[in-house]
Structure 1
């Protein structure tokens, strides 16, 4: 009787723990879904912004910066560091590192200086400016007309739109890669530090200009403003016998910002006026 009661209590306890775990897992998934929805809503492309990938007469190369997967050894080394490591170039160097296990390595010690690196980037604010830079103006004077006149977007001249860091910083290219990766993950938008809109690019969307009015159709290149903090440190590979680890010394942090254009997108603003603007 006692054994049966004990077994019943054990089953009840397992069932209760299972229900608690299921409830916690469901709550976590709901919270993650809500956060994802909030992020996607924040960076939802407005109706005034149009994708011109197909129409662009200048074929921009796709910006592809996938997260570099560390090798087993690289991951083991990264896990020993007290400072997070996200720099793709440093991870690539660690992936190319080979350390053989030596059966008679007792007492062996070595410290290898691998240089000073930007180790990781922590984002604090990401926002969109849908009218980052004006790239085109289409205008028609219908002040002498008796009926509405229709115009549409046509790029008058080739336009290069460049982003960049807002301050000077060491290892700027490494920092830009980490900021670009973080911004792409947060916005799910096609980002690049440079995008080109080719001359003659058109869009079929029609805008009507009433009689006795001038119509102005402005085109803007949108961009993402990324702000955060970069952590730097001197990286040492330390070998003690068959043990290996990464030691980070002289850790410093620096605030940084960047403008990153949204590739192959144009934001339109249509204005009708009685007088020239």
Structure 2
């Protein structure tokens, strides 16, 4: 009992919360250059009557202390929340650390996500139809996109997993890096949103302008493990036990983008 009390005192002295880490945004120059976006998909960020908040996930930079710690782990650690927790801790090295032995359980965490497929669905969800009957006309009639009602487009994971929010964050980071597109698990197209792109409906025909919300289908593998901080004298290391992996997928909508499909017909569709 006496040794346990002494050990607890040492641990409380050596562990102190100091905000060392900080979050940096991904370089803006890397955005909007990777995805092969079809010409039928238009950016409506300026026209959207609902101002979606920016969803850029911070690329959290590990502190020097955290870099050294995660470098001792045999399992790759990428979880931003776990990195943030390690950033907010430090372990001092006073002379009395000689002979100290301690193993501190930090919890079970999703440690990393490995992407195996990132693919777009440009017609993930139909959100609007603009229609005009020009069967009685003698010349082309021009229509353009007008969102008739506000639409909320939601994505999500394809299966239930532990620490779902951490997993979603890691998956979105990988998908954003792979596509260069602005992604969010929920985005809104405001009613009355318009786009000036013109579509011609010929005489004696009906015209249909369909609008779809695009999304990215992300698939891969998430790895979990029990994380321990091990102190041996002046040495510190991360030890991960009971490592398991699980396949996971997600649909992540593309924020402030709309995919259009236009067709004309002699008969109602």
Do the structures match in fold with TM over 0.5? yes
> What is the match of residue 195 of structure 1?
187
The reply to whether residue 157 of structure 1 matches residue 177 of structure 2 is no
Q: Distance in 1 between matches of 2:196 and 2:119?
A: 29
Residue 67 of structure 1: how far off its partner (Å): 1.1
Alignment match of 1:136 (pick from 120, 128, 134): 128
Aligned-residue RMSD, C-alpha: 1.1
Q: Distance in 2 between matches of 1:233 and 1:136?
A: 44
Matched position secondary structure for 2:78: coil
Q: Distance in 2 between matches of 1:83 and 1:211?
A: 66
Residue 212 of structure 1: how far off its partner (Å): 1.1
> What is the match of residue 81 of structure 2?
89
> What is the match of residue 220 of structure 1?
212
Counterparts of 1:110-149 in structure 2, within 5 Å, are 110-149=102-141
Q: Which runs of 5+ in 1 are unaligned?
A: 1-35
Q: State the 4+ residue runs in structure 1 displaced beyond 4 angstroms.
A: none
> What is the match of residue 102 of structure 1?
94
Residue 65 of structure 1: how far off its partner (Å): 0.9
Residue 153 of structure 1: how far off its partner (Å): 0.2
Bigger Rg, which one: 1
* TM-score where L is the length of structure 1: 0.84
Residue 66 of structure 1: how far off its partner (Å): 2.1
Alignment match of 2:196 (pick from 192, 204, 211): 204
> What is the match of residue 54 of structure 1?
46
Number of corresponding residues: 238
> What is the match of residue 71 of structure 2?
79
Q: C-alpha deviations, 1:220-252, integer Å up to 9, x for none?
A: 001110000000000000000010000000000
Q: Distance in 2 between matches of 1:267 and 1:237?
A: 49
Q: Distance in 2 between matches of 1:123 and 1:146?
A: 54
Residue 64 of structure 1: how far off its partner (Å): 1.9
Matched position secondary structure for 1:68: strand
Q: Report if the CA contact (8 A) 2:56-2:182 is conserved.
A: no
Q: C-alpha deviations, 1:77-106, integer Å up to 9, x for none?
A: 000000000000000000011211021222
Q: Distance in 1 between matches of 2:90 and 2:214?
A: 44
Q: Which runs of 5+ in 2 are unaligned?
A: 1-29
